DNA sequence: AAATATTTTTAGCCTTGTCTAAAAATATAT
DNA sequence: ATATATTTTTAGACAAGGCTAAAAATATTT
């Protein structure tokens, strides 16, 4: 059994490892968890005692297979709860993260399975992130940042890179939601802004936005 | 904000105070929380610093109005989650308690309100216990132990005194569920056992059972 | 190759919540 | 009323998880 704190470390390492593809530095973990590098050093030692990470002093840390399974199960719970909050309790997608951060630590295999079934076995959370299966497997879909589309290319919104409440609310205001199709009408060389068509309407999109919205090319 | 441990102490004191009607002893709390009296002494001091309990050394402890509100909100969450687990996730009534013990500590007013609404504003949990309202108010219904009914009296099952998994499973096996009507056909002086009619069928019930099942006289 | 800068670890301290053992207060029995 | 038993509090210790400051290892410049 793992403590709340241990679970949060495992999840942080899991995400950092996925993002960068390599071993994770003490500082990177400290930054992600808003804690101090010294605290991270201490915790990593405990985690390697428990065989969930491989650790060589000064050389960073990697999850073991076992550690990866535990981390994935926490991410699975996080994302299932986010679906629950949005689909069943009428939360909007910018309100769910903090509550899911708490709910992901509830320990009950039956609860997770029943919730999964109650929600209709969703494959992705409200932000377009994939939900790991029971064994920790992730179905990665092919997605590109909107900013990488060329003029006249089209794509369907499938996810966000920045999932801050501010960005999500901005998308709400512009009525840009997952599942909608986007056509790139124009790319401005000057500021890399885009002119797109969505819902049959024309919209101007800054590069900052286009860099934080994922589409599946179509 | 209160820690997990503080919340559990508040809830324990709340229940003990309701049960006995008076101030609560250190030992009683220790027993309920399966901890040591010395730990309870320590914690009570902290809680009285935070103005949720009134404490006089050696004289036991009582919740303040503020403390009562917090405790009731935790009980409210516990019972709402139990309803959720039974009604929506197909848990049986003997499986929900331990999961609800975890879920009751999730902090999100919106979550509680939406859950309440999603469940159709239930007034009682799966064990027949009343769900405190937002202000901590409890609607107490008139209920009696089945063992107090006289021959030929009838009542509707409305709750359990013992909510152990063993007792609940036993009731399941006998198909005694909340909402069903019971008629007392016979009372045996010898062993205080009862002969009852339920679902049109005759059933023999030991005194131990009759002492742990609440009915509303009808 | 040194010198300097950055990252990581260690050492020592703090808080929370727990425990055991001993002391103090209260309750019960003679 | 005293002696005995029980309950409650205090004193001191410990583990988890965090922090700061200093030391050690690694990386980057010159
Ligand atoms: Mn999230
Ligand atoms: Mn998400
Ligand atoms: Mn319960
Ligand atoms: Mn209950």
Q: Does residue B47 reach within 7 angstroms of strand C, measured from its CB?
A: no
Stretch B121-133: mean pLDDT, rounded? 98
* The pLDDT value given to residue B186: 96
Q: Extract the tokens encoding B210.
A: 């009759």
Among the partner-chain residues B91, B99, B115, the one whose CB lies closest to the CB of A89 is B115
Which of B102, B109, B115 is most worth mutating to test chain A (most A CB atoms within 10 A of its CB)?
A: B102
In angstroms, how far is the first alpha carbon of chain A from the final one?
45
**Domain assignments of chain B as residue spans, ordered by start:** 4-63, 144-217
Among the partner-chain residues A102, A103, A114, the one whose CB lies closest to the CB of B89 is A114
Q: Are A94 and A172 in contact (CB under 8 A)?
A: yes
User: Is A90 near chain B, with CB under 8 Å?
Assistant: yes
* Cα(B4)–Cα(B51) distance, integer angstroms: 17
Question: Chain B: nearest CA to A23, how far in angstroms?
Answer: 33
CATH code linked to domain B4-63: 1.10.10.10
Which ligand is in closest contact with the Cα of B100?
A: 3
Q: What is the DSSP string of B104-154?
A: TT---HHHHHHHHHHTT--SB-TTSPBPP-TT--------EEGGGPPTT-E
Q: Extract the tokens encoding B28.
A: 């009683």
φ, ψ of residue B179 to 5 degrees: the values are 100, -20
Stretch A155-173: mean pLDDT, rounded? 97
Per-residue model confidence as pLDDT tens digits over B173-196? 999 999 999 999 999 999 999 999
* The pLDDT value given to residue A40: 98
Torsion of CA A9, B85, B210, B24, to 10 degrees: 40
Are the Cβ atoms of A108 and B89 closer than 8 angstroms? Answer: no
Q: Are B214 and B161 in contact (CB under 8 A)?
A: yes
* The pLDDT value given to residue A59: 94
CA–centroid distance for A126 within its chain: 10
Confirm or reject CATH 2.30.30.90 for domain B144-217, answering yes or no: yes
User: Is A91 near chain B, with CB under 8 Å?
Assistant: yes
* Cα(A17)–Cα(B123) distance, integer angstroms: 47
Rounded to the nearest integer, the mean pLDDT of chain A is 97
Q: Extract the tokens encoding B31.
A: 């027993």
Q: What percent of chain B has pLDDT over 90?
A: 97
Which of A7, A86, A89, A94 is most worth mutating to test chain B (most B CB atoms within 10 A of its CB)?
A: A89
């Amino acid at each position: 059994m793992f403590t709340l704190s241990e679970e949060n470390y495992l999840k942080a390492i899991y995400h950092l490892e996925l993002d960068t593809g390599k071993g994770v530095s003490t500082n990177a973990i400290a930054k992600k968890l808003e804690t101090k590098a010294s605290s991270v050093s201490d915790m990593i030692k405990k985690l390697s005692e428990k065989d969930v990470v491989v650790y060589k002093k000064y050389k960073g840390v990697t999850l073991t297979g076992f550690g990866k399974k535990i981390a994935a199960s926490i991410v699975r719970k996080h994302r299932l709860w986010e679906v629950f909050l949005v689909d069943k309790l009428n939360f909007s997608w910018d309100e769910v993260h903090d509550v899911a951060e708490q709910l992901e630590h509830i320990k009950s295999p039956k609860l997770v399975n029943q919730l999964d079934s109650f929600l209709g076995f969703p494959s992705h959370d409200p932000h377009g992130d994939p939900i790991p299966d029971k064994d920790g497997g992730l179905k990665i879909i092919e997605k590109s940042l909107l900013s990488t589309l060329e003029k006249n290319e089209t794509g369907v919104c499938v996810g966000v890179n920045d999932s801050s409440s501010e960005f999500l609310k901005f998308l709400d205001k512009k009525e840009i939601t997952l599942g909608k199709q986007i056509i790139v009408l124009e790319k401005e060389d000057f500021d890399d802004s885009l002119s797109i068509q969505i819902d049959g309407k024309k919209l101007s999109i800054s590069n900052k936005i286009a860099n934080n919205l994922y589409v599946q090319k179509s």
